[in-house]
C-alpha cells in the first residue's frame, strides 16, 4: 500500500519513470532492501523500550488511543512524503519505524507472558521472512503484472481495518482470528504488488517504496504473532 505519490527526483533518491533504466531500477530496489533492513533496528529498539516501560497507547481510552495513533502515523506519512527526496525523509522513516516498534511492544509483551513466548516470536519472524522472500522472488522473476490486484487489496484492507476497530469494543476472539488471518494474506500480497512496482519502474523513490513495504511486513509479522499467540500460546 503506497502512502506517497510517485514524483520526480533528481538527487539519487528517485528518477523519472520514463527514463528509469534497468540499472537505475535495480538501484532503487537495492536501496529499498537496505533501508528496509535498517528500519528493523529502530523497530526492535522501540519494541524493547516499550516492553521494558510498559508503554501502551490504549491503556486508557481505546478510542482516544486510536485517534492519537492515527494522527501521529499520518503525520509521519505526510512528512516522509514531503521530504522523500532528501536525507530528512530517511531520518523521518527511521523515526516512524521506532514509533511502530513502540506500538508493537504491547503485543510483544503479551506474547512474552507465555512460557513459549520467545519461541512464538521467532516463529513469527521466520514466517514473515519466508513470506517476504517468496513475494520478493515472485515480484522479481514473474512476467505477470500484479498491479491490478491493488484496488482489491485496498478494499480488503478497508474491510479488515473497520472490523479491527469494531473489535476493540466487541472483543470477539473468532473475529480477531479472522481479521489476523485475512491480514496476513492481504499484506503478503501487498508486498508482492509494491515490490513489483519498484521492479517495473512504477515506484522510483526508495524512501516511499520502503515505507510501503515496511508497513506490509510489519502487519504480516504482527498478525502472524496474534495467530500464534492465540493458537499456540502456553501459560504453563
Q: Which domain holds residue 62?
A: 17-232
pLDDT at 236: 65
Q: Quick check: is 6 in a domain? A: no
Cell numbers linked to 168: 476493540
pLDDT at 20: 61
Helix ranges, 171-205 (H): 173-199
Cell readout for 175 is 473475529
In a domain? residue 139 = yes
Q: How far is CA 140 from CA 21, 26, 146, 195, 199, in A?
A: 15, 10, 12, 8, 6
User: What pLDDT, on the 0 to 100 scale, is given for residue 13?
Assistant: 46
Is the pTM of the predicted complex or chain greater than 0.95?
no
Contact yes or no for 209/203 (Cβ under 8 A): yes
Q: Is residue 182 part of a domain?
A: yes
What nine digits make up the cell of 14? 528517485
Backbone angles phi, psi at 193, to 5 degrees: -65, -45
43 assigned to some structural domain? yes
pLDDT of residue 234: 82
For residue 210, is it within any domain?
A: yes
Question: 84-104 burial by CB neighbour count: b if 16+ within 10 A, else e?
Answer: bbeeebbebbbebbbbbbbbb
Decide if 12 is inside a domain: no
Domain count along the chain: 1
| pLDDT per residue of the chain (236 residues) written in tens, 0 to 9 | 333 333 333 333 444 444 467 888 899 999 999 999 999 999 999 999 999 998 877 666 777 888 899 999 999 999 999 999 999 999 999 999 999 999 999 999 999 999 999 999 999 999 999 999 999 999 999 989 998 999 999 999 999 999 999 998 888 999 999 999 999 999 999 999 999 999 998 999 999 999 999 999 999 999 999 999 999 878 76
Specify if 46 maps to a domain: yes
Does residue 8 lie in a domain region?
no
pLDDT, residue 2, reads 39
Amino acid at each position: 500500500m503506497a502512502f506517497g505519490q510517485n514524483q520526480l527526483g533528481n538527487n539519487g533518491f528517485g528518477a523519472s519513470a520514463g527514463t528509469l533504466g534497468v540499472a537505475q531500477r535495480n538501484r532503487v530496489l537495492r536501496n529499498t532492501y537496505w533501508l528496509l533492513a535498517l528500519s528493523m533496528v529502530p523497530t526492535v529498539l522501540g519494541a524493547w523500550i516499550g516492553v521494558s516501560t510498559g508503554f501502551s497507547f490504549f491503556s486508557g481510552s481505546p478510542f482516544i488511543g486510536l485517534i492519537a495513533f492515527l494522527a501521529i502515523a499520518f503525520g509521519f506519512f505526510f512528512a516522509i512524503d514531503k521530504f522523500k527526496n532528501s536525507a530528512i525523509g530517511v531520518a523521518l522513516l527511521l523515526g516512524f519505524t521506532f514509533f511502530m516498534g513502540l506500538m508493537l511492544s504491547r503485543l510483544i509483551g503479551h506474547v512474552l507472558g507465555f512460557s513459549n513466548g520467545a519461541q512464538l516470536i521467532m516463529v513469527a519472524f521466520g514466517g514473515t521472512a519466508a513470506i517476504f522472500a517468496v513475494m520478493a522472488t515472485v515480484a522479481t522473476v514473474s512476467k505477470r503484472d500484479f498491479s491490478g490486484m491493488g484496488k482489491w487489496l485496498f478494499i480488503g484492507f478497508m474491510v479488515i481495518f473497520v472490523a479491527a476497530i469494531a473489535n476493540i469494543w466487541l472483543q470477539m476472539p473468532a473475529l480477531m482470528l479472522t481479521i489476523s488471518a485475512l491480514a496476513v494474506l492481504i499484506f503478503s500480497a501487498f508486498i508482492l504488488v509494491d515490490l513489483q512496482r519498484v521492479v517495473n519502474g512504477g515506484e522510483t523513490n526508495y524512501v516511499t517504496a520502503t515505507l510501503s513495504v515496511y508497513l506490509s511486513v510489519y502487519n504480516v509479522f504482527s498478525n502472524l504473532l496474534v495467530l500464534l499467540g492465540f493458537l499456540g500460546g502456553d501459560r504453563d
